[in-house]
Amino acid sequence: MTSRAALRGYLSFYAGARLAFGLVLALAIAQPLALIPIPWLAKRAFDEFVPAGNVTALVLAGVAILVLQLTHAGLALWARRVTLDVSKRAIARMREDLVAKFYALPRTFLAEADRAALHTRAVEDTERLDVTTNALVTQFFPSALVGVALGIVLLSLSPRLLAVTLVFAPPVLLTSRFLGVRVRRELVAYRASFEAFSRGMFFVLWKRDLTQAQAAEEEEIARQGAQIHHLRTTSGRMAWLATAYALMHGAVFAAAGVTVFVVGGRDVIRGAMTPGTLASFFVTLGLLRMQMGVLSSSLPQIVGGRASLEAVLDVLGLPSPAPAGARRHLEFRGGLRLEQVVYGYDRGAGPVLRGVDLALAPGEAVALVGENGAGKSTLLNLVLSFGEPWSGRLLADGIPYGMFDIVSLRRRIGAVLQDPLVVRGTIAENVAYGTPGATRAALEEAARLAFLDVVLARLPRGWDENVGEDGGTLSGGARQRVALARAILRRPSLLLLDEPTAHLDLSTVHSVIGNLRTALPETTFLVVTHDRDVAQGCDRMVRLAEGRVTDFFPPRLERPESAMLARPGA
């Protein structure tokens, strides 16, 4: 990505902030104006007030210098306040766009992507950009303007001493160029090391059970420890370079100051310069050194910000489907049809579904039966538009997928996947997730139909029980009932149940399906299972084998009524 393209992409987040940036620019120009009179006051103090013994004038000059310094600080503080307001809004928009992009990216991309790296883009890189903006606008630009103004003052005071000072400019420029390249190279290494560290911490926290089940704690601690020490090395080099950068600049300015002291002192002794001029030159040089210190400290942040900007814009530039608003809204009533659908996850490995034809009428209950690996869950993923068929098509109420806003379809679908999805929070928050504004009465009705009320009765805090990360404080059956209650709450037109006996016993599944068919008579049911006994509560069974619909079977009619009336336990 070119620097110009990166800058255009970055400035797009500041649309509508021209007035604020105009104010910041005005404040940046005003800051050096507040400092320029200080050398003149110092010159008069040493050339006029001190020799004349005018203590009052000397005190007034000192007060004026203090007022000018405070004015400069106040202008800088005001500029920072405005910049923070504008930059924080821009970074917030950038983060919102990243969240929207993550939801818009194809599921296959996220399945293969380095999620730790994406997490770093959304969190670390945007924070670094925030820091960079403030360094650039409130430190670099004002300090550069102040530096130019102070350079003009030095020229007016003594061209000879300024020429002596400029002898030290080439070392400063060469040092900046050399260390700038080093900082950028080390930053790349640091970013890679940090992402590896972040990925490792995600693994430690999310795959702890796997590690302990395999008794691999010792190996995992050693592996993560190696990465931690690598991060220590790369971050240490970054910090050392920043310190070396500042110290080198300080040493050069110190050498320049000593040279000015000697050359200027000799000129004062010879009568070629007044003591006030020399003192004023020293004061101005000290102010310039302070501004150059601000410049040098901001440069590493600016260099790092450019790399972060390119990384964030690369993510935002990833291709994704058309936004939902670009398609028509669908009032889905539960009719679903698959026509000659062929789909797989890897074209090199061949399709999982091979020409599937399947139709569900509104209000019908269909059991999709098949062995493990037959493609049942894959078919559900396609219904939810988690992927696009290689060939063939899906239709909702006779309208092909792609012709309507897929979000409007998903809002009318309740899905209980084989691995129940539960997020950190309370049970009430989990059941209401995706259905904002749900009343307590609606929550309780959904819990009753899912037999979640049995679980709630045994929890000390009931609805307010915290489920922990990924529902770690709940059993598998309780998590499935939470997911089922969440799906029921929105009164869906289509309810997808993926392997309901994975965490619930057969009697409970029969009771749940029976209750739901009574409470939701217009809802279409698609129940995915490898157990034909589960299909007893459905109108018909469809067999999926080797990615094809091969046979249709009627359900067994001798469904035990006791199963329908049972109130299963937890």
Q: For residue range 259-277, list pLDDT tens digits in order.
A: 888 888 888 888 888 888 8
Q: Please give the backbone phi and psi of residue 440, each rounded to the nearest 5 degrees, phi first.
A: -65, -35
Whether the CA torsion 178, 182, 185, 187 is positive or negative: it is negative
Contact 142, 79 (CB under 8 A): yes
Find tokens 């901001």 and name the residue: 298
Q: How confident is the model at residue 555 (pLDDT cuts 50, 70, 90)?
A: low
- For residues 471 and 85, which has the higher predicted lDDT (pLDDT)? 85
Find tokens 């009931």 and name the residue: 462
What is the pLDDT averaged over residues 559-563?
Answer: 39
Q: Position 64: which residue type?
A: A
pLDDT digit string (tens) for 214-238? Answer: 678 888 888 889 989 998 998 888 7
Q: What is the side-by-side order of every strand in the sheet holding 391-396?
A: 353-360, 336-343, 391-396, 399-400
pTM: predicted TM-score of the whole model, two decimal places: 0.74
C-alpha torsion angle, residues 473, 475, 478, 483 (rounded to 10): 80
Q: Position 388: which residue type?
A: E
What is the pLDDT averaged over residues 66-82?
Answer: 88
pLDDT at 505: 78
Work out the mean pLDDT of the chain and round it to a whole number: 83
Of 372, 317, 366, nearest in space to 338 by CA:
366
- For residues 393 and 501, which has the higher predicted lDDT (pLDDT)? 393
pLDDT at 80: 81
What is the pLDDT averaged over residues 354-368?
Answer: 92
Contact 534, 553 (CB under 8 A): no
- Specify which residues 525 forms β-bridges with: 365, 495
What is the pLDDT averaged over residues 434-460?
Answer: 90
Q: How confident is the model at residue 324 (pLDDT cuts 50, 70, 90)?
A: very low
pLDDT at 492: 92
pLDDT at 20: 82
Q: How far apart are CA 90 and CA 84, in angstroms?
A: 10
What is the pLDDT averaged over residues 353-365?
Answer: 92
Provide DSSP, 64-131.
HHHHHHHHHHHHHHHHHHHHHHHHHHHHHHHHHHHHHHHHHS-HHHHHHS-HHHHHHIIIIIHHHHHH
Burial of 374 (0-12, 13-18, 19+ CB in 10 A): buried
pLDDT at residue 570 above 60?
A: no
Burial of 401 (0-12, 13-18, 19+ CB in 10 A): middle
Contact 369, 526 (CB under 8 A): no
Q: 3-class DSSP state for residue 345?
A: coil
Q: How confident is the model at residue 1 (pLDDT cuts 50, 70, 90)?
A: low
pLDDT at residue 566 above 50?
A: no
List all residues 6 or more positions away from 123 whose beta carbon is below 8 Å from its beta carbon.
none
Q: How far apart are CA 16 and CA 465, in angstroms?
A: 45
Of 546, 547, 512, nearest in space to 527 by CA:
512
pLDDT at 214: 67
